[in-house]
Structure 1
Amino acid sequence: MQPSVSRDFRASALRQTVVWLVVLFCLVAVLPAMASQFKRIRDISVSCNDALTCDVSAYNAQSELYTVTFRRRASPDAPVELVLGVRETLTPGSDVLLEIDGAEIVRLPVADLSYRAAVYEYLFRGREEIAALMGSAKTGRTLRVSYRTRGVDTVSRFSLAGFVAGLIFMDEVQGRVGRPDALQADGPGTSGGEGTIREVVSFSDIPFQLRSEFTSPSGSCGGLQEQPFAKLGGFDAEAGAGVRLIGLPCGSGDAFNQPYAFWERDGPRFNRVAFPVIAEEGPSTSSTAWNVEWDDERKILTSLFKGRAAGDCGILNRWAWKTGESENAFVLIEARATAECGSGDPQSWPIVWPVGG
């Protein structure tokens, strides 16, 4: 289902955008669009999916072991995981040595790492070792990783500039600022609880009442395999008034657009949530939102349908989740659109809603 477009769109411009989408879809590999919050801080990258699982990563594109990542899920008691991205598998029986500014911090036997072949990652969950590594990284300048691959001893070096700021951004996205479970911006506040987002990363995580919508070929959200589903980031979040809001990738998208569907869960009852939009003919609703970002603290959902990969044309919608005595619903608070690719930041696109805004 294509998203609605504003009445300000010229029919010819809309047709041209659709043609561009079809051409680009045929020219590029069909990979699922990734919805996330991302920030680059000096030499550190922070990426969080819609379930608020966040990665704080240092990169060295020239190395076979090219990334060192600290990963944490959104729940208050979630541990930090160490993830090593590799191009070649590590030699069995060898060690991975991590040093900061010349001092050995952690030595990890390869046998203690879990290898995920599908994504070329080694995963380590030792809490004490990871805490020691993060503590040194907060005050350090350079991380040096020594390892053996293909029978050759190799070294990768990573700048830690921006690491502390990256942890702060992760705390902000996950709503931990001022709480004791924050990694950097901690404080005496209470940690989350019932309001914590639960990540949905497999079909088995989907409530059984909805699962057939994804696993059955005739389901409304069928057609998306489990591996890309896991990467896209579904979530189950507390939404106020005793209900939860479930947002899940729904069906196959194209190279840079992924549809999502949402359900409101009130006890054993599940209600599919509609999205108010502005169509050419006037106000309407859509059953899906595209490339979503969920702000759990403010309960605001942002959707950006891209006219092309750069995201410099298309349709931007922003909804606020509102709870009421008789019903709960998404309320459209902003809509912007343009068919003129090259228009830059979506926040600068022409306003479709509110009228005269």
Structure 2
Amino acid sequence: MRQDAGNRVPDRLTSLLLGGALLLLPALALAVSPEPKTFRDWMAGCDNRKSCAALSLPPLVADTTAYLRLERPAGPDSAASLILRLSGDWKTPPATVELKLDGTPFPAAGKAMPVTANDNIATLTFQPADTAALIDAARKATKLSIAAPGLLAEISLSGAVAALLWIDEQQSRLNTPSALIRKGSAGAAPAAPALPVITARPASGTLSEKGGKALAAALRKHIKQRDPDLCGDDASPAVADEAWPLDGKRSLVALTCSLGVYNASNAFWIVEGNAVTTAKPVNFPQNDGGATNMLTNGEFEPKTGRISYFAKGRGIGDCGVAGGYAWTGSSFVLTELSMMGECRGIGSDDWITLFRSEVKTAR
């Protein structure tokens, strides 16, 4: 699968250039882990529970996209898991692959490694012993080669040790027996922080489709009169405006402020009754301490009281930011956040997670 050269999402999580507009990206102030760090050909990041992941970055141009993803939860007894992901335009996905480290068969016996396939994605899950062996070999090896009938790919190991050492540091494992790189006998890693528990409140109340359209139209008219530049002024975005009841008194209104090829920016407001003149913008906190009511490709699900969004760095959706919020009855709070700052063919399921929570639905 050919990748477009030169595609890279800017490093600042709070300012992502998408569709020609500078878009503020939501995060929970002081609770979201720092942005992922790049170590040559590898990237690493951790979430609010200190669960960390490291990814190899595929070349900008390749017939087969191949990358390694290592994940390590926090805690003294947690184990690292490692997968190899492959994607291409093959008619029949490979059933096995052969691996080499700098030309030497890996594992040492040179056995073919079984993979599982789903459409054009093939996955090899390493056994714990092979994971440990590959981490140890990465100290000296420069590349991992993958071969199968009709498939050749390479993964650079440059930066892998630095990325894993950084993970050890974030999890306070340096010089402990459970460290990935710098092992020692200095006690044990601390326990993982508690997982935040958020209670989402499903939408209640009634608002007909006709009533919702009328409310959104009235709000758009008011916003245009008050500040013509706040949310676009052409007619086309208004077609996608929506409104939902939050409870017996308040409604959530989403105004589409811009429409691009693969991104739409949405401004969210809470309106009490039909009083659009006193509508309040939803506060989605930012990791710079500010707040915005804008999301990219934001979608609200009334049955769960949750909003999801997916800001694509390019059309195929292999880079950008994705996350979600939950309505608690008084505000929307962050439930999840992940990002990928390099457009290299990495699927969103494998992006670096920066925030996670357990979401319960209020009865």
TM-score, normalization by structure 2: 0.44
Q: Which has the higher helix share?
A: 1
Flag the structure with larger Rg: 2
Superposition TM-score, scaled by structure 1 size? 0.45
